[in-house]
């Protein structure tokens, strides 16, 4: 059995390690003792392309509800609000990204992590379930990318 799964985004491969869980907002979560470390999935990074700005609206120590807005990101292709992948308390943010968010582009599954937080990750998806989720949203995503959604 492979330790990663691949989703084809047109001609581009998005790879997902199976040692993590995934949120519908395209963040990966990896359990690390009593907390979770979160970052952007390959799918999100491919859609964003060239992240150059990252801002957090909350501070470490703050309790967040699932899907509560917590920050914003800007890239070559998009500006987007960021939302908590689960209910819990933010422990810390990746300080390296505050100085240079481009690490997200190059090293999304290791040094490009976003934040650590406590919380119940039982609502997160296994990698194969995340692939099923991506299959269900890919057609709409392609139309959005091409600006054809309301045509």
Q: β-strand 35-40 against 27-32: which pairing, if any?
A: antiparallel
CATH of 4-142, one of 3.40.1360.10, 3.90.1300.10, 2.40.128.630, 2.40.50.100: 2.40.50.100
**Position 1 pLDDT exceeds 50:** no
In sign, the C-alpha dihedral spanning 125, 126, 130, 132 is negative
Question: Which contacts (CB < 8 Å, 24+ apart) does range 44-49 have?
Answer: 45/104, 45/105, 45/108, 46/9, 46/12, 46/14, 47/77, 47/78, 47/141, 47/145, 48/73, 48/75, 48/76, 48/77, 48/78, 48/80, 48/104, 49/75, 49/76, 49/77, 49/105
**Position 129 pLDDT exceeds 80:** yes
What contacts 126, CB < 8 A, 6 or more positions away? Answer: 18, 21, 22
Pick 85 or 1 by higher pLDDT.
85
Domain chopping of the chain, boundaries: 4-142
Q: Could you read off the pLDDT of 28-73 as tens digits, one per residue?
A: 999 999 999 999 999 999 888 888 899 999 999 999 999 999 999 9
Rg of the chain, C-alpha, whole Å: 15
**Position 142 pLDDT exceeds 50:** yes
């Amino acid at each position: 059995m492979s330790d990663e799964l691949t989703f084809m985004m047109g001609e581009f491969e998005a790879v997902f390690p199976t040692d993590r869980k995934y949120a519908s907002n395209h963040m990966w979560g990896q359990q690390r003792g009593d907390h979770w470390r979160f970052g952007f999935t390959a799918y999100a990074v491919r859609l964003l392309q060239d992240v150059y700005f990252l801002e957090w609206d909350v501070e470490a120590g703050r309790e967040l509800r699932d899907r509560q807005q917590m920050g914003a990101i800007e890239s070559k292709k998009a500006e987007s609000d960021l939302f908590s992948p689960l209910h819990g308390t933010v422990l810390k943010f990746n300080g390296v990204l505050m100085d240079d968010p481009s690490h997200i582009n190059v090293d999304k599954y290791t040094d490009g992590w976003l934040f650590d937080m406590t919380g119940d990750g039982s609502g997160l998806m296994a990698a194969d379930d995340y692939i099923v989720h991506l299959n269900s949203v890919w057609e709409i995503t392609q139309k959005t990318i091409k600006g054809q959604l309301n045509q």
